[in-house]
């Protein structure tokens, strides 16, 4: 659903966001104040919206159902916000704990104990668990 400057609502008329980012961004155009997404928020959609709005996103907000729908990268979200856009969720989730895996198929792993300690400091007061070490930080 697209909300105009007058807060009138318009249907987006796309069956899904994925694969229709360009069409959706064109429908949003420069007049919309907000976009409520039933599906995924992707980097592609953020970039298409930024391009259509000529990178002037001040006052424009995207609302997703819950955080699990945000598939955009941290870099993409930061860029969108830096340009003045805002992302909100309708149903926030309760985060009970953080789990870590210090290994990656893309680069050498981290020192598991150091990673656990730093994450525990960063995410306090949430409990942090290393799934490989089987320890709580």
Tens-of-pLDDT digits for all 137 residues of the chain? 887 677 777 877 777 778 778 888 888 887 888 999 988 999 999 999 998 877 677 888 999 999 999 999 999 999 999 989 999 999 999 999 999 888 777 877 678 899 899 999 999 999 999 988 888 88
What's residue 80's pLDDT?
92
Give me the count of residues in the chain.
137
What's residue 7's pLDDT?
78
The β-bridge partners of 64 are: 37, 89
Q: What is the dihedral of CA 35, 36, 40, 43, to 10 degrees?
A: 20
Cα 21 from Cα 45, distance rounded (Å): 5
What's residue 55's pLDDT?
65
Residue 108: its H or E element:
none
What's residue 25's pLDDT?
86
Domain boundaries, the chain: 2-89, 98-136
Which ranges of 53-111 does DSSP label H, i.e. alpha helix? Answer: 74-82
pTM given for the model:
0.73
């Amino acid at each position: 659903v697209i909300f105009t400057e007058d807060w009138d609502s318009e249907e987006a008329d796309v069956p899904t966001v994925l694969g229709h980012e360009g069409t959706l961004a064109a429908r949003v155009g420069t007049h919309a104040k907000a976009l409520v997404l039933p599906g995924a928020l992707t980097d592609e959609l953020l970039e298409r919206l930024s391009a259509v709005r000529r990178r002037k996103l001040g006052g424009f907000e995207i609302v997703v159902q819950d955080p699990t729908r945000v598939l955009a990268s941290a870099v993409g979200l930061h860029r969108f916000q830096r340009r003045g856009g805002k992302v909100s969720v309708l149903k926030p989730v309760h985060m009970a704990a953080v789990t870590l895996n210090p290994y990656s198929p893309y680069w050498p792993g981290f020192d598991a104990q150091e990673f656990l300690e730093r994450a525990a400091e960063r995410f306090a007061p949430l409990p942090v668990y290393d799934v490989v070490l089987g320890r709580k930080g």
